[in-house]
């Protein structure tokens, strides 16, 4: 069954197409070709390879929670990491474990560079780990005691991080240096945790905050330029993802809702009563006709516009 591209014009017709229960879900990721959906959860990884159904087609069982999963841009590898402080690199066609890297702290987020030559990890220690897929080096990045929550590459030389210290920071890979950052405080003047971030095709940065805000910035060669703020979710915005063409932003929050935003004007397109607990992660299919959302109620739902 085929589904149309999700747009601002048809998003009000979004419907939950299927669901699965797999345990506490930390992160979802699609392979670049859209043929595999991976879910990092409390018992390992669930992998869907033949469409989405109530049970994953393949499982990688692990004795401690996986908190992060990411695919290389060339589709050859995927990586998973979690509370045991290890990053595991897998060959995607065979699922063979290729390498295990010790990060020195719990792994909260993973991302490959666009050329697939570098893997970056955001750690619970506030540090960033960088690996060429063989060796690993750890760098100080956030304030001590503040966990890194999300990491995304802008290009092969630059990436952005979000952190519990309220900062969204733009970094250069080589040499590892900070380029620019901005910090957000809530209405009481206290630090608002940055929970998630994403970068659109048009080099726009979106950051989700615990106070419910989403902040949008334009990324230039050497700076982050604030564009606008959105009051998105009561109790906190936990997850967000741009559509592949950058025209929509989908967010999820502590209010159990999924919301779709039009990036042309920042206006709300639709809100979906989705889950019984907060939304933890959102991932768009590379073709932009589906997205998956994972919740603290231990379910994943696949969303699309029914014809």
CATH number of the domain that 240 lies in? Answer: 2.130.10.10
Average pLDDT over residues 125-133: 95
Q: What is the mean pLDDT of residues 118-123?
A: 97
Given a cut of 90, whether residue 188 has pLDDT beyond it is: no
Q: Which whole number is the average pLDDT over 269-277?
A: 91
Return d(Cα 242, Cα 222) in angstroms, integer.
22
Q: Could you give the percent of the chain with pLDDT greater than 90?
A: 88
- List of long-range contacts for 270-277, beta carbons under 8 Å, 24+ apart: 270/11, 270/12, 270/14, 272/14, 272/16, 272/303, 274/16, 274/301, 275/299, 275/301
Residue with tokens 């607990």: 277
Q: Is residue 269 part of a domain?
A: yes
In the structure encoding, which two tokens stand for residue 98, read together?
Answer: 């290729």
Does 109 fall in a domain? yes
- Summarize the confidence of residues 237-250 as an average pLDDT: 98
Please give the average per-residue pLDDT across 38-54, as a whole number. Answer: 94
What's the pLDDT score for residue 137?
Answer: 95
User: What gap in Å lies between CA 42 and CA 276, rounded to an integer?
Assistant: 18
| pLDDT at residue 167 greater than cutoff 70 | yes
Q: Is residue 4 part of a domain?
A: no
> Is 106 buried (19+), middle (13-18) or exposed (0-12) by CB count in 10 A?
buried
Mean pLDDT of 101-122: 97
Q: What is the mean pLDDT of residues 77-81?
A: 98
Q: What does the mean pLDDT of the chain come to? A: 94
Spatial separation of the C-alpha atoms in residues 147 and 117, rounded to whole Å? 25
Contacts of 158-162 with CB under 8 Å at 24 or more apart are 159/111, 159/113, 159/120, 160/197, 160/199, 160/205, 160/219, 161/122, 161/128, 161/197, 162/194, 162/195, 162/196, 162/197, 162/207, 162/208
pLDDT-derived band at 49 (thresholds 50, 70, 90) equals very high
Average pLDDT over residues 36-65: 94
Q: Give me the number of domains the chain comprises.
A: 1
Number of H helices and E strands in the chain, helices first, is 0, 28
Mean pLDDT of the 24-38 span = 97
The whole-number pLDDT of residue 73 equals 97
pLDDT at 217: 95
Distances 279 to 67, 147, 186, 254, 300 between C-alpha atoms, Å:
15, 19, 21, 6, 10
Confidence (pLDDT) at 4: 96
Domain presence at residue 5: no
Tell me whether residue 2 is in a domain. Answer: no
Report whether pLDDT(1) > 90: no
In a domain, 3, yes or no: no
- The band of 144, judged by pLDDT with boundaries at 50, 70 and 90, is low
Inform me whether the pLDDT recorded for 261 exceeds 70. Answer: yes
Residue 171 φ/ψ, nearest 5 degrees: -120, 155
Collapsing DSSP to helix, strand or coil, 189 comes out as: coil
What is the pLDDT averaged over residues 139-143? 77
Q: Is the pLDDT of residue 150 over 90?
A: yes
In a domain, 1, yes or no: no
Average pLDDT over residues 95-101: 97
> For residue 149, is pLDDT > 90?
yes
Domain that residue 57 falls in = 11-305
**CA angle 17–19–21, rounded 5-degree value:** 175
pTM of the model: 0.96
Q: Is residue 164 part of a domain?
A: yes
Instruction: Give residue 144's Cα distance to chain centre.
Output: 23
Share of the chain above pLDDT 70, in %: 99
């Amino acid at each position: 069954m085929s589904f149309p591209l999700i747009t601002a014009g048809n998003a009000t017709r979004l419907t939950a197409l299927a669901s699965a229960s797999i345990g506490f879900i930390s992160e979802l990721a699609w392979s670049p070709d859209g043929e595999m959906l991976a879910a990092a959860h409390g018992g390992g990884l669930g992998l869907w390879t033949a469409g989405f159904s109530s049970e994953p087609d393949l499982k990688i069982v692990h004795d401690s929670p996986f908190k992060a999963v990411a695919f290389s841009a060339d589709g050859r590898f995927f990586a998973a990491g979690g509370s045991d402080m290890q990053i595991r690199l897998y060959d995607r066609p065979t699922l063979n474990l290729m390498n295990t890297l010790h990060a020195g702290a719990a792994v909260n987020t993973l991302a490959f560079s666009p050329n697939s030559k570098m893997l970056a990890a955001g750690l619970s220690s506030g540090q960033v780990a960088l690996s060429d897929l063989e060796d690993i080096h750890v760098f100080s990045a956030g304030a001590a005691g503040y966990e890194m929550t999300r990491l995304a590459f802008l290009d092969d030389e630059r990436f952005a991080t979000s952190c519990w210290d309220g900062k969204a920071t733009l970094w250069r890979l080589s040499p590892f240096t900070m380029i620019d950052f901005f910090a957000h405080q809530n209405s009481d003047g206290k630090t608002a945790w940055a929970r998630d971030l994403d970068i659109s095709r048009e080099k726009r940065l979106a950051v989700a905050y615990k106070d419910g805000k989403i902040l949008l910035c334009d990324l230039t060669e050497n700076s982050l330029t604030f564009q606008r703020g959105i009051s998105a979710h009561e109790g906190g915005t936990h997850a967000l993802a741009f559509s592949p063409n950058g025209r929509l932003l989908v967010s999820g929050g502590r209010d159990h809702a999924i919301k779709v935003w039009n990036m042309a004007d920042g206006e709300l397109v639709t809100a979906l009563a989705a889950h019984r607990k907060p939304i933890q992660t959102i991932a768009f299919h590379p073709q932009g006709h589906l997205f998956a959302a994972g919740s603290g109620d231990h379910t994943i739902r696949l969303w699309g516009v029914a014809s």
